[in-house]
Structure 1
Amino acid sequence: MIKLFSTIRTVFFMMFSLYFAGCTSNEGEIGISEKFPDKVSYNFHIRPILSDNCFACHGPDSDAREAGLRLDIESEAFKALSENPGAFALVPGKPHQSEVFLRVNSSDESQVMPPPESNLKLTNREIELIKTWIKDGAVYEKHWAFQAPQYIAAPEVEDKNWPVNEIDHFILKQQEDIGLHPNQPASKENMLKRLSFDLTGLPPNLDLMDRFSENDNPEAYEEMVDYLLSQPSYGERMAVYWMDVSRYADSYGYQLDNFRTQWPWRDWVIHAFNENLSFEDFITWQLAGDLLENPTKEQILATGFNRNHKITEEGAVDEEEYRITYVTDRTNTVGKALIGITFECAACHDHKFDPISQKDYYEMFSFFNNIDELRTSTAPIDPLVGTPESYAKKPYIEITDEDAEGILSFVNKQDTSKLIVSVMGELDTLRNNYVLERGVFNAYGREVFPATPESILNFDPKYPKNRLGLAKWLFDERNPLTARVFVNKIWKEFFGRGIVNTTSDFGMQGELPSHPELLDWLAIDFMENGWDIKRLIKQMVMSATYRQSVAIDEKERQKDPENRYYTRASRHHLKAEFIRNMVLASSGLLVPEIGGRSVKPYQPDGLWEAATAGGSTLAEYTQDHGDNLYRRGLYTFVKRTVPPPSMLIFDASNRDQCETERSFTNTPLQALVMLNDPTVLEASRVLAARLLSENSTQTEKITKAFRLILCRKPKPKEVELLLNYLRDKLESIAMEDAEALASIGEYPVDENADKVAVAALMQVISTMYNMEEAITRS
């Protein structure tokens, strides 16, 4: 019997010893205090106060509006109060005659606003801001996110040597203005690790490490960026991000949660990123590929994006109720993923904070309300042949062997079985569209027609009133949101914090941009250069801002505790899929095959069985074997009702709905996964056996393993600790325990190998996998 407790205790001791070997302590300091602005802006100072404290009762929602007062619209805010015609909420230039200021500044509980029962209260600073704004004329501004981006040239900075590109000018200018300064550059080893995971989702191999460390050419870094962007693994890395946005899963999601085949669409996403399809085409094909003139089968396959939502297969359900749920999901996904607005808030009533009415919601809803919703499970599965028009009208397509050898050659179809994928398809006749009162599926209100919110951008009459027209509206050069929202999402992927940190909410309740001029510059540059995604990413990772070290003393960290001003690189654990990739790649187990059906690696017994109602095609978990145990995290089978547990523990999405960002938590369960996951233990065993087969010293074996896992050369103290641990294990491990350890996992075991040597080195390697640094973005 393996002495598990003893092993865990020893591993933790080793981890702490290695950690504290390089630790230093620093004194903290209070961060930068927010200064009172020279000029009070409605957008950046007043609107956030009103939105947080006033708009719920005095905002866009007419049903919730109190005293007939509306403060979110200038023309309404200056009217006489309906309950007191001699008084005005706002009197420009006269705060002491303005009821807004008098009420928020009142000490009388019967008069003060917000009322005490709301548990809201303005700070003295906020009251002073309102007073100053009214004194200066109470000038309203259109919400910043609903105004088209304005081009501003990169500003001049005092430090001429630090900036690499325009991004750095914007970042450094703001730092200099408030007395901050950027961090030192990351070491070459740390920089390569960060860059490799960020661009490919994989750790750099030893050859790449050596090439980069030995290349003193000033262009070495850019050459590495170009090399990594050209790798097929780039498309796989970017697909991880898009799977969350698109709510991709391998099951339908509701009670029975049966199997569905959408993975060919995932293969297309990988292909699209690797081919650097423009963002405009990438989105247009997914929203409306079937509506393009003479659409190809690839363009129709892309529309699987809007069929990835949960679908019921239960009997005795109201088909119309669920159909409305599907249309609602698509509408909400466009709102959250593409225009960064909490659009779903207007499904039941006018939005309480943003100028989005319920009518606006159902006008947008109308673009998706004419889809043939025939459920895939009950659809005939006859081969679809003939002209593109013959399959453009169907809610599914079949991918044939001929397709997989031709136009859909990127689909990894490994057998001759029929492959059915859910896609979009319009009905021959138009459905009528109505506002659904309170969001109830059969409570029809006024009739509406396809349109877009005027507060964002009017729908151009020349655009067709269908999904293709919606795509054209999204990429209209006047649309203020599409480019901003996407560049901000990509920024957060690489910098850890968005310029607008609420990536799916650019509305009144969203966080204000920390660098609005930079956001606009990026958006305009992105549009003017053909919506080129790889170019955008290269701009970001080439910047000096991106290349900063994460290491910073406590005194400096307290000056910018949330890293709002990008005074250092972000530090958090790798994405769940990348952690799996790291373990498999560093051990040599990773199977680099691209695409194909999702796979079922090791998982605790009984999870699916315990959560299945019965009758499901996924009632039992049947683990895969062979190469399918060692595929990238991207390809792990996602059952919505029981997502992969080890990945969920590392904050992966359960894919129930569109998610534009992941949280990064730090929990004891994560440590237990790294200590006990069969994949980690098997990888440790396989890497140990491979190192022992090499003609090298113990020090060389430990050094090589350390570099493969942590992507840097170990310090002498670290080598000494690990060597001592190895020698201790060689002397103390019992043969019974050694044989048990040396047989973990299904990868073939060399029966002639020294089991004690394998088990001892295996535990040293497991310790390396359990170091925080191993799973942390450096």
Structure 2
Amino acid sequence: MIVRKGENLFWTLPFLGWVVFVTLLIACKEDTNNKTNNFPKEISYNLHVRPILSENCFTCHGPDANKREAGLRLDKEDEAYAALAESPGKHAIVPGDPNASMVYVRMISENPEEKMPPTSSNLKLSDYQIKLIEKWINEGAVYEPHWAFVPPKKSELPEVGNTEWVKNELDFFVLEKMEQAGLAPSPMADDLTLLRRLYIDITGLPPAPADLEAVEKGTLELGKTIDKLFKSSAYGEKMAVSWMDVSRYADSHGYQDDYYRTQWPWRDWVIHAFNENMPYDQFITWQLAGDLLPDASMEQILATGFNRNHKITEESGAIDEEYRVMYAIDRTNTLGKAMLGITLECAQCHDHKYDPFSQKEYFQTYAFFNNIAEWGIEEASPGFSKKSPAKYPLMEISETTAKEVLQFINMPDSASRVSRLMTGMDKGTNYNSLLNEANVLKVAVMGDLDSIRSTFILERGEYDAHGEKVEPGVPASILPYPEDLPKNRLGLTKWLFDMNNPLTARVYVNRLWQEIFGIGLVDTPGDFGLQGNLPSNQALLDWLAVDFIESGWDIQYLLKKIFLSATYQQSSGVSEENYKKDPDNRFLARFPRRRLKAEEIRDLVLATSGLLNDEVGGPSVKTYQPEGLWEAATSGRGNLSKFQLDTGKYLYRRGLYTFIKRTVPPPNMMLFDASNRDACEVERLKTSTPLQALVMMNDPVVLEASRVYAGRLLKKSSNAEVAVESAFYSILGRKPDESERSILNSHFETFLEEYNKDKSKAVKILDVGKFPHNDDIPVPVHAALMQVITLIYNLEAAITKA
């Protein structure tokens, strides 16, 4: 029996065979765990020992002083080697002598009161793990600094066998790992596949039929195509999608009442910055501290909206200081995850249990964000309070400002659009004030107090439990904060981009790699710390990180380097031999297939059907969703208590511009793993559920696009077979083979026969969406072709980058 990748073995194997299969699987696992002869030639602390200690020992014997037992710390060699405080003359670890090392002695003890980890922890070391510890101690118990806290270096390009395959430097590192694993690269992808891949990765859109035809008639000039796509405004929109997740951008405040907010001009700036290929160090500096730059421009101040995208409460009964502290904590945690790739938030209530970050260092970092001129409660109704609301400091942007200064901001007819928000507003809301604000946008930006707000360690992380007073600082284990830097957010950015900072370049390179290949070289992109996974190819990650710095933090340079590599240009087809050796494709012996993001699926449908409104920037839009969803899930207060569908061209904007109400995010996008933007996210979940298939079959966006596309194709030619092939070519980026063509044409004939017999069915099928209907086309033919196009959109290949 042959089982294809992705099939469920439970249903394909007979029940008895399944039982045998599981029994053998468990036996093999136990055999692997107890295997003691197949050790690495050399034991590495980072690769072999630290993961065992981190998982089983560091909770009680790690960095967290508050939870440390017996005064023993195992994550630092000097303390692990020292005499035990509670057992004079004994040592936790004695290099070269396991039997004198109490760590090892307690691990092999049969006495339940002495055995480590204790039985109460529900942790247990396997014989294999204990033997690793024993061998490591025998070899000298050599500690190594954590790889991610050591600045990256460019190593020499490794020697490989198949030198003809490589196209640039990164291929040497990839091929070395392949050859060590006994793998061979896949053949190069054909030009049409590669063109579609590039378009999706650079613009988030599929290539137009004319682009596909041009490649079929000639040869794909890769470098020129990449440069052309970088110049497209769609590039900035594509890059902005992932940055919206990182920056927790949304169109509402969050929390119960969940009022509307106008942060979208900041999103326009992000698109503009990517399209200008702003260097990454400048991109981050402006967002964290643009207001502190000398003679800061309006653009630099607008960029700081990044740190004001967090959730804000409007509830008058809330405690003001509690929420103000939450906002500063959010910024601190976002810095840790987005720029440093560490779980800094774990040190908010106590010293980090695994990484060398103290609670004091957490609040020293927090101090950089604790001096903002803001309050905790957002007063939604004008004139409600004399106190400045949480939106302050604000930047006011008028239509004149947008035309003369911030020309990248798309200022539509704001007044008429904001007026549509008023359905369901609270009684007593000042409508005239809101209409005036529509023409003068107010964007939350950064701005410090004139005085210095004191910062304290918050005991247990509680907002009002002040402990020791602290000054701004950073975790010294990453890189000590230079004395000559100012202790403000601008100084913090200089520390981030210090040549000796080991994390900043690695973290961003890894995320770009993840965007392209579906998984990062470090597959825990938000945790480069001791609990995070080791890189699958550290030499490659470090080489790319240093190369990125040397390029002047040039994002397009880095992307182009990847796109021009043989690694990227491989086919996604997989040989049986390679699949057996590397089912997860960690060695990249093929290009990884992955489903498009939620936004990209919407964009593909709109673009191929001809519905896409390619206007860049501007306010978010409310598109189709189940009726009554907002009303059923709100407090009944606020200007977003009722949903009002956008109209006209606004219904057909890219997924990037879909309105995100935090308490009720757009369901069709959430089902495809989009973020609800409650907090910073550097990686989306990857799920596969029946609900996703139901969305593709029933989403009004897909059905309306199918109807409109069918009408446009039939208007060009009454030949249904030509129309079917054109739709397939546009949506999948290639022409159907004979089998596919036969199946699709057969479906068309079946639908046509059904609708000719009962025209009312066809009328009902076509009754979807707001786009005007074409009454010149015979209804049965139109409906039949619409159904076939819907089928094509539902093909797995249609919404997959291969």
Normalised by the length of structure 1, the TM-score is: 0.93
Range with bigger deviation, 575-584 or 96-105: 96-105
Equivalent of 1:148 in 146, 151, 156: 151
Q: Which residue of 2 aligns with 1:256?
A: 257
1:351-362 mapped onto 2 (5 Å cutoff): 351-362=352-363
Mean Cα deviation higher: 592-601 or 108-117: 108-117
Q: Shift of residue 98 of structure 1?
A: 1.1
- Asked whether the equivalents of residues 257 and 641 of structure 1 are also in contact (C-alpha less than 8 Å), the reply is yes
Aligned to 1:744: 768
Aligned to 1:438: 460
Of the structure 1 ranges 117-126 and 94-103, higher mean CA displacement relative to structure 2 is found in: 117-126
| Cα distance in 1, alignment partners of residues 543 and 759 from structure 2 | 64
Tell me by how many angstroms 1:261 deviates: 0.3
Deviation at 1:126, TM superposition (A): 2.1
Q: Which runs of 5+ in 2 are unaligned?
A: 1-5, 13-20, 384-390, 415-438
Q: Which residue of 116, 134, 137 corresponds with 1:134?
A: 137
2:39 maps to amino acid: F
The answer for the alignment partner of 2:327 in structure 1 is: 326
1:318-397 equivalence runs, <5 A = 318-374=319-375, 378=379, 395-397=393-395
Compute the displacement of 1:159 (Å): 0.3
Q: How big is the shift at 1:474? A: 0.2
> What does residue 216 of structure 2 align with?
213
Cα deviation 1:180-211 (Å, max 9, x = unaligned)? 22222222222222211111110111011112
2:714 to 676, 687, 692: 692
Structure 2 CA distance, aligned partners of 1:756 and 1:450?
Answer: 71
Q: 1:323 to 1:375 in 2, by over 3 A?
A: closer
1:612 is matched with which residue: 634, 641, 646?
634
Q: Which moved more, 1:284-293 or 1:44-53?
A: 44-53
Superposed structure 1 runs of 4+ greater than 4 Å apart? 28-35, 374-382
- 1:102 lines up with 2:87 in the alignment: no
Greater displacement, 369-378 / 574-583: 369-378
Unaligned ranges ≥5, structure 1: 1-18, 383-392
Q: What is the distance in 2 between the residues matched to 1:768 and 1:142?
A: 53
Match of 1:458 in 2: 480
- 1 CA distance for matches of 2:572 and 2:99? 50
- The 8 Å contact of residues 400 and 418 in structure 1, kept in 2 or not, is answered as yes
1:403 is matched with 401
Distance 1:412 1:668 in 2: 38
On the 8 A contact 2:348/2:461 being kept in 1, the answer is: yes
Counterpart AA for 1:408? L
1:729: which partner in 2? 751
Helix, strand or coil for the counterpart of 1:64? coil
Determine if contact 1:287/1:306 at 8 Å carries over to the other structure.
yes
- Whether the 8 Å CA contact 1:494–1:541 is kept in 2: the answer is no
The separation in 2 between residues aligned to 1:527 and 1:731, in whole angstroms, is 63
Match of 1:54 in 2: 57
Deviation of the 1:362 alpha carbon: 0.2
Match in the other structure for 1:314: 315
CA positional deviation for 1:380: 11
Q: Deviations over 1:117-152 (max 9, x none)?
A: 322222333222212211111111211111111220
Distance 1:667 1:554 in 2: 26
Corresponding residue for 2:410? 412
Aligned partners of 2:381, 2:278: CA distance in 1, in Å? 33
Query: Matches of 1:279 and 1:36 in 2, distance apart?
Result: 43
Greater displacement, 664-673 / 557-566: 557-566
Alignment map for 1:160-559 (pairs within 5 Å): 160-216=163-219, 220-374=221-375, 378=379, 395-415=393-413, 417-559=439-581
Residues 324 and 375 of structure 2 are in contact (CA less than 8 Å); yes or no, is this contact kept in structure 1? no
**Residues in 2 aligned to 1:502 and 1:673: alpha-carbon distance in whole angstroms:** 29
- For 1:642, the equivalent position in structure 2 comes to 664
Aligned-pair Cα RMSD in Å? 2.2
SS at match of 2:66: helix
* Native 8 Å contact 2:313 2:377 kept in 1: no
Contact conserved, 1:376 with 1:395, CA < 8 A, in 2? no
**Secondary structure of 2:396's partner?**
strand
Inter-partner Cα distance in structure 2 for 1:769 and 1:41: 50
Whole-Å separation in 1 of the counterparts to 2:444 and 2:152:
37
Secondary structure in 2 aligned to 1:567?
Answer: coil
Give the SS at the match of 2:88. Answer: strand
User: For the structure 1 residues 672 and 727, does the alpha-carbon distance in structure 2 shift closer, same or farther, using more than 3 Å as the test?
Assistant: same
Which residue does 2:582 correspond to in 1? Answer: 560
Q: 2:318, 2:377 within 8 Å by CA — same for their partners in 1?
A: no
Q: Distance in 1 between matches of 2:185 and 2:366?
A: 46
Alpha-carbon distance, 1:375 to partner: 6.8
- The aligned residue for residue 40 of structure 1 is 43
Give the aligned partner of residue 92 of structure 1: 95
Q: Which residue of 1 aligns with 2:697?
A: 675
Distance 1:118 1:184, change over 3 A: farther
**What is the deviation of 1:553?**
3.9
Whichever residue aligns with residue 758 of structure 1, its letter is H
Matched, 1:771 2:795: yes
Pairing of 1:560-599 with structure 2 (within 5 A): 560-599=582-621
Deviation at 1:394, TM superposition (A): 5.6
What is the DSSP-based 3-state SS (H/G/I as helix, E as strand, rest coil) of the residue aligned with 2:595? coil
Higher RCO (CA 8 Å, separation ≥ 6 residues): 1
* Separation in structure 1 between the aligned mates of residue 729 and residue 655 of structure 2, nearest angstrom: 22
Q: Is the aligned partner of 1:762 residue 2:762?
A: no
User: What is the distance in 1 between the residues matched to 2:292 and 2:314?
Assistant: 28
The offset of 1:715, in angstroms, is 0.6
Residues 324 and 376, structure 2, Cα contact 8 Å, conserved in 1: no
Q: Distance in 2 between matches of 1:339 and 1:79?
A: 32
Match of 2:388 in 1: none
| Matched length | 742
Task: Give the match's secondary structure for 1:693.
Answer: helix
Distance 2:453 2:662 in 1: 31
Q: 1:185-240, CA deviations, whole angstroms, 9 ceiling, x for partnerless residues? A: 222222222211111110111011112233226xx122222222221100000000
What residue identity is the alignment partner of 1:410? Answer: F
Change (3 A) 1:776 1:121: same
**Counterpart contact for 1:376–1:422, Cα < 8 Å:** no
Which shows bigger deviation, 158-167 or 104-113?
Answer: 104-113
Q: What CA distance in whole angstroms lies between the structure 1 residues aligned with 2:718 and 2:129?
A: 67
CA distance in 1, matches of 2:718, 2:753: 20
CA contact (8 A) 1:289 1:303 kept: yes
**Is the partner of 1:509 in helix, strand or coil?**
coil
Please give the secondary structure, in 2, of the residue aligned with 1:420. Answer: strand
Q: Percent identity?
A: 54
Give the 3 Å change call, closer, same or farther, for CA 381–457 of structure 1 in structure 2.
farther
CA distance in 1, matches of 2:95, 2:559: 46
Cα distance in 2 between the residues matched to 1:192 and 1:248: 31
Aligned position for 2:429: none
The amino acid across from 1:721 in the alignment is I
Q: Is the 8 A contact 1:599 1:624 kept in 2?
A: yes
> 1:376, 1:396 within 8 Å by CA — same for their partners in 2?
no
- What displacement does 1:696 show? 5.6
Residue identity opposite 1:44 in structure 2 = L
Tell me, in whole angstroms, the C-alpha distance in 2 between the residues paired with 1:356 and 1:635: 38
Aligned partner of 1:627 in structure 2 is: 649
